[in-house]
Amino acid sequence: SIHTYNCFLFLSVFVPAAQPITSKLDAGWWAYKDVVQGTFVPVPSFWGLVHSAWNLCAIGKRQSPIDIETSHMIFDPYLTPLRLNTGGRKMGGTMYNTGRHVSLRPDKAHLVNISGGPLGYSYRLEEVRLHFGSEDSQGSEHLLNGQGFPGEVQLIHYNQDLYANYTEAAKSPNGIAVVSIFIKLSENSNAFLNRMLNRDTITRINYKHDAFLLMGLNIADLYPDTTRYITYEGSITIPPCYETSTWILINKPVYVTQMQMHSLRLLSQNEPYKIFLSMSDNTRPTQPLLQRCIRTNINFSKQGRDCPNNRALRPQYRVAQWRMKSKKFYISA
């Protein structure tokens, strides 16, 4: 197949010379899936092989995303609620089609930060990023007991106590905190996502590099009504896969409509003069958990028991065991 041929070509030509960063091996040279026939662009399984600065993508031991197995979660009573600080003000931001994600960047005048929970520092919001699938059964980067969701919102923050900006923080210890919220489908959509995904707005960023300014956003609207979350130490999910991220997965989803999901799938990875390639399935596959702990402030422990494999848990995302085969979920709340 063309895919195999390309990989062969790539392995024989690029790997022996992988150390120097040639013009072809620039920071933007990666993809989620095979794109154009006849050219090789590294997909996730190759990210760590094409560029020595990206080798964590291949050999890292604290990579993200992961499959959250709820039976492996550990209840940590010292995990306090996350604190969101907007200064009580609404924010403006620019929404972009980056060719890979829908990305909203708050303007510099509006500081939004989070602290508390598992975080020892204050982290400033840098970007809101959307991942989504071509089908409703996939699209989230994290999985829950092996199951995907139609999408995942990631609020990416950097440690503003220690670092001057996102670029510096991303490669430094305790640099990044990502709040992650699964997206599900419903009749009504989340108020914040509705601002981004209503037809008049989302169609402004159909093509790569399109941008659209939004005002009067309240980031608090994006957060589901819960203080419960799951947290673990991992990496950023795009090259160079730096292992500097604390992940905080909120224990309730946000909702978008089927129509809004459809609009997302109609976004192109390409400029208007190039072939249409849907942006959907912009997800990195899950990575091994290895020695890491998944902690939660969901108190699922029966009194006097602290076994990490306690199965008597009550997360909001509850997998009905008898439905596992049909890949269905229900939310207990």
Ligand X SMILES: *[C@@H]1O[C@H](CO)[C@@H](O)[C@H](O)[C@H]1NC(C)=O
Q: Which residue is nearest to ligand X (CB)?
A: 87
| Closer Cβ to ligand X, 52 or 167, answer by number | 167
Q: Report the residue from 301, 318, 319, 333 that binds ligand X according to the rule CB under 6 A.
A: 301
Closer to ligand X by CB, 45 or 71: give it.
71
On whether the CB atoms of residues 230 and 298 are closer than 8 A, the answer is yes
Q: How far is the CB of 169 from ligand X (least distance, A)?
A: 9
Q: Of 55, 85, 198, 201, which lies in the binding site for ligand X, with binding defined by CB under 6 A?
A: 85
Main-chain dihedrals φ then ψ at residue 211, nearest 5 degrees: -140, 150
27's tokens: 């920071």
Interaction of residue 111 with ligand X, rule CB under 6 A: yes
CA 101 – CA 282 distance, rounded (Å): 7
Cα-trace Rg, the chain? 20
Do residues 155 and 122 make contact, with C-beta atoms less than 8 angstroms apart? Answer: no
What is the pattern of x (binds ligand X, CB under 6 A) and - over residues 164-183? xx-xx---------------
Please say which residue, 201 or 310, places its beta carbon nearer to ligand X. 310
Cβ proximity to ligand X: between 85 and 198 the closer is: 85
* 91-97 and 211-217 beta bridge pairing: antiparallel
- Contacts of 28 by beta carbon, 8 Å cutoff, 6+ apart: none
Chain-centroid distance, C-alpha 265: 17
* 220 contacts ligand X (rule: CB under 6 A): no
Structure tokens at 120: 């020892």
Q: Point out the catalytic residue in the list 163, 166, 232, 242.
A: 163
Nearer to ligand X, 34 or 161 (CB): 161
The vertex-301 CA angle with 295 and 306, nearest 5°, equals 70
Distance, CA of 182 to CA of 25 (rounded, Å): 33
The yes-or-no answer on residue 96 being catalytic is no
- Residues 40 and 5: their CA atoms lie apart, in Å, by 10
Task: Pick the stretch among 100-108, 129-137, 163-171, 313-321 that binds ligand X (CB under 6 A).
Answer: 163-171
- Of the listed pieces 98-106, 162-170, 198-206, 242-250, which binds ligand X according to CB under 6 A? 162-170
- Judged by CB under 6 A, does residue 306 bind ligand X? no
CB count within 10 Å of CB 109 equals: 8
Interface residue with ligand X among 87, 272, 285, 288 (CB under 6 A) is: 87
Q: Does residue 315 have a cis peptide bond before it, meaning omega lies within 30 degrees of 0?
A: no
Interface residue with ligand X among 70, 122, 237, 287 (CB under 6 A) is: 122
C-beta of 220: minimal distance to ligand X in Å?
12
Q: Does 20 bind ligand X (CB under 6 A)?
A: no
Task: Count other Cβ atoms within 10 Å, centred on residue 308.
Answer: 13
Residues contacting ligand X: total by CB under 6 A: 14
Binding site for ligand X (CB under 6 A): 77, 85, 87, 111, 113, 122, 160, 164-165, 167-168, 299, 301, 303
Catalytic residues: 163
